[in-house]
Amino acid sequence: MKICMILEGSYPFVFGGVSSWTHQYIQAMKEHTFILWCIGAERKDRNRFKYEIPDNVVEIRQVFLDDALCMEHFTKTVHLNDRELQQIYYLISGEETDWDILFELFQQRKANPLSILMSEQFLEVIQNVCLETYPYVSFADFFHTVRSMLLPQLYLMTGTVPEADLYHATATGYSGILGSLGKWKYNRPFILTEHGIYTREREEELLRASWVIPEFRKQWIRLFYNFSHCAYVHADVVTSLYEKAGRIQADLGCDEKKLRVITNGVHYENFCRIPAKTGNGCICIGAVVRIARIKDVKTMIYAFADLKMRMTDRKATLFILGDVDDPDYRKECVSLIEILQVPDIVFTGPVNVAEYMEKFDFTILTSISEAQPLSVLESFAAARPVVATDVGCCRELIYGKCDDPFGQAGFLVPPMHRAEIADAMERMCRDGQLRKQMGQAGQKRVETFYTHEISMNKYRDLYREQLIRKDR
């Protein structure tokens, strides 16, 4: 089977998270071949792969959103009919859109996005929306905001669609549009796997973003809700990592009949034989995170500084393992460490997590948003307990579900609450027997419910089911 994996802002351009899952996923599915349809933000990242591409990847399509700025403008415009004009209106106003009409416009009629955005028809529509929605806001600001919002998505719809037996997207954003486009063009199954709830994550970012004109925050947020509507309507199956995420997908408009839960899994055998940390008087804490604002590394640093002030009788070191997503944020973190005078924090960059795990007594995760973090599962597989924020399904991982007899495998703390994070770390540091007990509970939980084999077999079954249904 030839599978088109549609990836946004992840594999193979960055390490960690969805990228790690994708790499392991493709390696495990040796019986299938893959086309990677990769969406990046900037074309300067073309061919800058952070992974060695597996042999069963037969093609890589790279699409960058800023390529939209390089499109040629043709003076010949496409006159939009009433149906098409209505959908452009919905895109601008943020209402649910009939994406099939837009797919036809850009795939079959070969409309040029720039020509549309510079047309009198578009000007009339955007003037009407501005008067209806933002009567007291500068029209120039609204016009340029809307153009910057629409251009990348319209550009994506003009591209050549790779033909595959099945389309599999890893988010509802721009990748969800391309997955829907593949389904529309070739009438092949489309599976959507959400590791996090993309729409909610973008909403959180937009509410904090300094570059967004405040009056237009809701406009940007509605855009991504419209993206999720596109993906949920076209997908044959929508998977999430845990039941609560599925309920959120339903709240966002996904048909409950499409929803499945397929948990993450880790290569248990790579971690379960890692020996226990040998005592040398120093407590070593690991944090397997990308350096990104959503991981809230700053709160981690603050909490570790508090811990160091409390534990004057013992030495502790914090190792932060992961690639840099946001160079500016890393500089802020380094500056914070210098201000707080906490020298015992080590940024390792991307490393082999299994090899590093032997150093750790326990691990920590302070994210303000997660789904089902692989770093927690890997820590458990190595019998290392975790201090984690109460986000995503971390509560479920640490305490177990109702049918789980293994017990507590760490401490759960509120996001961005440095005092409670420091409290939990101190309890871990001072009680070696508790660390051992919790680590063993986590290891049993992963072995029973969260192995890579369990997860991959569920996806294999899903693929077979969809192809059988398609052939009927």
DSSP-assigned letters across all residues of 9-70: S-TTTS-STHHHHHHHHHHH-TTSEEEEEEEES-GGGTT--SSPPPTTEEEEEEEEGGGGGG
Residue closest to 353 by CA, chosen among 371, 373, 327, 337: 373
Q: Which residues pair with 33 in a beta bridge?
A: 2
Report if residue 227 sits inside a domain. yes
Angle CA 325–39–261, to nearest 5: 85
Show which of 208, 233, 261 is a domain's final residue. 261
22 is written with which tokens? 């994708």
Amino acid type, 456:
M
103 in the same domain as 16? no
Residue closest to 192 by CA, chosen among 61, 461, 7: 7
356 in the same domain as 233? no
φ, ψ of residue 362 to 5 degrees: the values are -160, 175
Residue closest to 94 by CA, chosen among 126, 70, 46: 126
360 in the same domain as 442? yes
Domains in the chain, number:
3
Handedness of CA 141, 127, 159, 5 (dihedral sign): positive
pLDDT in tens, 438-453: 999 999 999 999 999 9
pLDDT in tens, 90-101: 999 989 999 999
First to last CA, the chain: 17
443 in the same domain as 323? yes
208 in the same domain as 88? no
What pLDDT shows up at residue 365?
98
Split at pLDDT 50, 70, 90, the class of 278 is: confident
Residue numbers of the domain that contains 6: 2-70+160-261
Q: Domain containing 240 — which CATH number?
A: 3.40.50.2000
Report if residue 455 sits inside a domain. no
Q: Is 262 in a helix, a strand, or coil?
A: coil
354 in the same domain as 223? no
400 in the same domain as 331? yes
pLDDT in tens, 3-28: 999 999 999 998 878 898 999 999 99
φ, ψ of residue 270 to 5 degrees: the values are -75, -15
Split at pLDDT 50, 70, 90, the class of 332 is: very high
Report if residue 14 sits inside a domain. yes
Which DSSP helix (H) or strand (E) runs through 445?
A: helix 432-449
Angle CA 296–298–304, to nearest 5: 115
Mean pLDDT of the chain: 93
Given a cut of 70, whether residue 75 has pLDDT beyond it is: no
Report if residue 327 sits inside a domain. yes
Given a cut of 70, whether residue 303 has pLDDT beyond it is: yes
Report if residue 355 sits inside a domain. yes
What pLDDT shows up at residue 314?
86
Over residues 277-300, the mean pLDDT reads 90
Tally Cβ neighbours within 10 Å of residue 74: 11
33 in the same domain as 91? no
Report if residue 462 sits inside a domain. no
Given a cut of 60, whether residue 455 has pLDDT beyond it is: yes
**CB within 8 A of 246, min separation 6: which ones?**
240, 259, 260, 261
What pLDDT shows up at residue 240?
96
274 in the same domain as 398? yes
Over residues 339-356, the mean pLDDT reads 92
pLDDT in tens, 99-146: 999 999 999 999 999 989 989 999 999 999 999 999 999 999 999 999
Percent pLDDT > 70 in the chain is 98
Report if residue 463 sits inside a domain. no
CA–CA gap between residue 246 and residue 243 (Å, rounded): 5
pTM value is 0.88
Helices and strands (H, E) in the chain, number of each type = 19, 13
281 in the same domain as 195? no
CA–CA gap between residue 405 and residue 163 (Å, rounded): 46
Q: Which residues pair with 291 in a beta bridge?
A: 324
394 in the same domain as 349? yes
92 is written with which tokens? 């601008």
Show which of 261, 277, 293 is a domain's final residue. 261
pLDDT in tens, 33-70: 999 999 999 999 999 999 999 999 999 999 999 998 88
351 is written with which tokens? 């490393």
Report the side by side order of strands in the sheet with 259-261.
Answer: 57-64, 33-40, 2-8, 166-169, 190-193, 237-240, 259-261
What pLDDT shows up at residue 262?
96
Residue reference for tokens 């929306």: 129
385 in the same domain as 318? yes
Report if residue 98 sits inside a domain. yes
Given a cut of 80, whether residue 279 has pLDDT beyond it is: no
Show which of 201, 227, 261 is a domain's final residue. 261
Angle, helices 120-133 vs 139-156, to 10°: value is: 120
pLDDT in tens, 389-424: 999 999 999 999 887 899 999 999 999 999 999 999
**CB within 8 A of 362, min separation 6: which ones?**
285, 286, 379, 384, 385, 386, 387, 410, 428, 435, 439
Q: Is 103 in a helix, a strand, or coil?
A: helix
